[in-house]
Amino acid sequence: AGRSARVEIPVEDVTAGTVAVMVKADGTEQVIKTSTVTENGVAVTVSNGDTMKIVDNSKDFADVPSTYWASAAIDFATSRELFAGTSETTFTPAAPMTRVMIVTVLARYASDGSSLVIGYAEGQQWAVETGISDGSNMSGTVTRQQLAAILFRYTEYRGADTAGRTDLSRFSDSAAVADYARDALAWAVSAGLLQGRSDGTLDPSGSATRAQTAVILQRLETLLEKN
């Protein structure tokens, strides 16, 4: 009574799109965005008196076949209503991610369990209020180093450990990393959120696609779960 606990609900045949859904007293339902798939089921934080059900909330997109390299991560992100498709039948995985898109996704994470509808305006306001973004150039494509900085601040906001650092000098273009993003990128690489390119570069100014961001978010939730 008066407390909450992280519990594992046994579920057979879980998929990346399997989620916990809170059933409220009035019959309305709310997807729990921080519910995570485990080896044996679904882990979710519950409080005394909560009613939960488990559903496979995976979406079907014509441009994301089951064999697509990021299909599981896209199932993870869309089933938790962090991302939406670009239409009812498409996800457009190769499209670039914008700054307002990523802060809106994180605002939805932060509002887990709330019935609030969070769009771009609410996401931008939340990011500025929390210091996760300065609110500038929200329509611009987010770069890899900008994404690392935003995720670093969000992880600190969640109270999780951000102590790990990788020596970026092993990447041939490490000198191109902006000063503001150096610590964040060193942490993101150390945490396994971002990886170098196949040519040995870090590509800090390169863009992040919707598919790549879904993969990074899935890794981030796993990291936060451990904390």
Provide the pLDDT for residue 3: 86
Kindly report the pTM of this predicted structure.
Answer: 0.90
* The pLDDT of residue 114 is above 70: no
pLDDT digits (tens, 9 = 90+) for 197-215: 999 999 999 999 999 999 9
Percent of the chain whose pLDDT exceeds 90: 83
Mean pLDDT value across residues 108-136:
87
Mean pLDDT value across residues 50-73:
95
Q: Kindly list the strands in the beta sheet with 4-10, ordered across the sheet, starting from the edge strand earlier in the chain.
A: 4-10, 41-47, 36-37
Give the position of tokens 């690392």: 148
Label residue 218 by pLDDT band (50, 70, 90).
very high
Residues 6+ apart with CB under 8 A from 136: none
* The pLDDT of residue 183 is above 80: yes
Label residue 156 by pLDDT band (50, 70, 90).
very high
Strand boundaries in 48-167, DSSP class E:
52-56
Instruction: Round to whole Å and give the CA distance between 126 and 41.
Output: 32
Percent of the chain whose pLDDT exceeds 70: 98
Provide the pLDDT for residue 115: 65
Length of the chain: 227
Provide the pLDDT for residue 224: 87
Least confident of 97-106, 200-209, 216-225: 216-225
Instruction: Round to whole Å and give the CA distance between 79 and 77.
Output: 6
Closest CA to 133 of 105, 169, 162, 103: 103
Average per-residue pLDDT in the chain? 92
Provide the pLDDT for residue 113: 61
pLDDT digits (tens, 9 = 90+) for 1-44: 778 899 999 999 999 999 999 999 999 999 999 899 999 999 99
